[in-house]
Structure 1
């Protein structure tokens, strides 16, 4: 397999708010900070970007801003999922229109389709829009888990190119690599097990931690991609508390608190997410110190 376009660390970007609206200036600055920190791609309007509480207009605007700011320096994988197939197609079509490099499409949540329904959902998207699609499997949030057998079928479709796997099941990762073929792109969706996922044949991680520590997470995945596992483990040891602390409260409130502490954006979140609790704040600060961020 040649090096995939989607590899290394890709931050699942937060969407900064101020006075109830998207803070576009802060978002652009955060994107520039990520690129300067050496990340390998950008993922706007995923779960960490609070896509569930963005309006459709805001969603589209944030993707456009990300693509415009990146200016082709790193690939942009636009969040474009929905539990309505027609709506997902429209979001993927928009991502293609404004120049995103791929779309990240979550398994349909709440309506809990069958495995055949999941296949039909992604197949319809792949047929409707000629843009690379990464399947996002996060059963803890969606209530549905897409099987390796279905992924192996999807891997045969030209536009379904890989997965963001947030199951933390490393045995599944090895089996999936074998079943889906050498061109299947495998990105972890879990910072804590991301290094292990790389050892099982993964290509990188769509990362929450990178929002706070882009240079440190980029260094971890650079080491792993070059086969320097000892060096990657050293980076992991410095970051592992931060991986955990950023989920000490409902995400992305701890991440936004960390960014606010660094003076990069307000810690504003949208209901039903509320600002990080005091115990979570203390844990975040301790983890930031351990990671060398402050």
Structure 2
């Protein structure tokens, strides 16, 4: 499977009591597809998968896949603390017709590279679907290093890796030494560098509420190769990326951004709480400036 374009890790809209707002989710899916994103991810951390049971995650994946109705691929998140849960998610993804699965290292366990690779290969055997790996050592505590990549890279299903380490040397390593594993940007403030080193996809939570702007950066850099304009767009996006990453309010900011776009997102599930008024005001100002600036750049182009 070739991963090209913007892949949105879709939020999970909630009602006030924490239950799923599936009508709200349907509207988000329609908005994203209409805005030109290239794929959807159900069951990522942006979708608050850490607050959900396996059955709930598969319910959301089935709904998202049905709503997309073949218009864009749907990747199903299969990462979990327990291998048994990851296998159940992977088998469920296969049964509901998922196009691929996203597999992260199991958090908290801190497996060795061999143990981590065997975990992925067990999930692979259960699903037999294309796999996008997800390397995020800041959340999982371990890095998907060279021993790991050498082991899992033998599987024809391991197609791509969402790289979220923040270490630019990892971009160089993947581009030079593992060209058979497609590199996908998973660190938003390094998108320009990823595209310069050959990445052709970007998994970006901000595309939940700014899909056109994220698509614009992808098309400018990865399709047109116009990095001069790309730098201008990226510069306009940097203040948003700083706001999203500060103070552990990532999901809350993304959900408020979705509300700003006129869609329903609802509150996060506990333990997270919604943004306060000051945080909302700061985010709203940053988004307004970003949208105006990028619109001006696109008109000039």
Q: TM-score, normalised by structure 1?
A: 0.93
Is the contact between residue 93 and residue 127 of structure 2 (CA under 8 Å) also seen in structure 1?
A: no
Gaps of 5+ in 2: 296-301
Partner of 1:22: helix, strand, or coil?
Answer: coil
Indicate which of 212, 215, 218 corresponds to 1:215.
Answer: 212
Partner of 2:40: helix, strand, or coil?
Answer: coil
Is the contact between residue 12 and residue 265 of structure 2 (CA under 8 Å) also seen in structure 1?
A: no
Partner of 2:27: helix, strand, or coil?
Answer: helix
**Offset at residue 200 of structure 1 (A):** 1.9
Indicate which of 240, 243, 248 corresponds to 2:241.
Answer: 243
**Post-superposition CA distance 1:66-110 (Å, at most 9, x none):** 111111111111111112222211101111111111000110111
**Post-superposition CA distance 1:90-146 (Å, at most 9, x none):** 101111111111000110111111111011111112222210111111111111111
Indicate which of 4, 8, 22 corresponds to 1:7.
Answer: 4
Looking at structure 2, the residues matched to 210 and 266 of structure 1 have their Cα atoms a distance apart, in angstroms, of 14
Aligned runs of 1:95-106 on 2, under 5 Å? 95-106=93-104
Choose 213-222 or 228-237, whichever is displaced more. 228-237
Aligned runs of 1:108-257 on 2, under 5 Å? 108-181=106-179, 183-226=180-223, 227-248=225-246, 249-257=248-256
**Offset at residue 212 of structure 1 (A):** 1.2
Choose 238-247 or 105-114, whichever is displaced more. 238-247
Looking at structure 1, the residues matched to 250 and 266 of structure 2 have their Cα atoms a distance apart, in angstroms, of 12
In structure 1, the residue matched to 2:298 is: none
Looking at structure 1, the residues matched to 77 and 98 of structure 2 have their Cα atoms a distance apart, in angstroms, of 10
Is the contact between residue 80 and residue 86 of structure 2 (CA under 8 Å) also seen in structure 1?
A: yes
Choose 132-141 or 151-160, whichever is displaced more. 151-160
Q: TM-score, normalised by structure 2?
A: 0.91
How well do the aligned residues superpose, as a CA RMSD in angstroms?
A: 1.7
Is the contact between residue 173 and residue 201 of structure 1 (CA under 8 Å) also seen in structure 2?
A: no
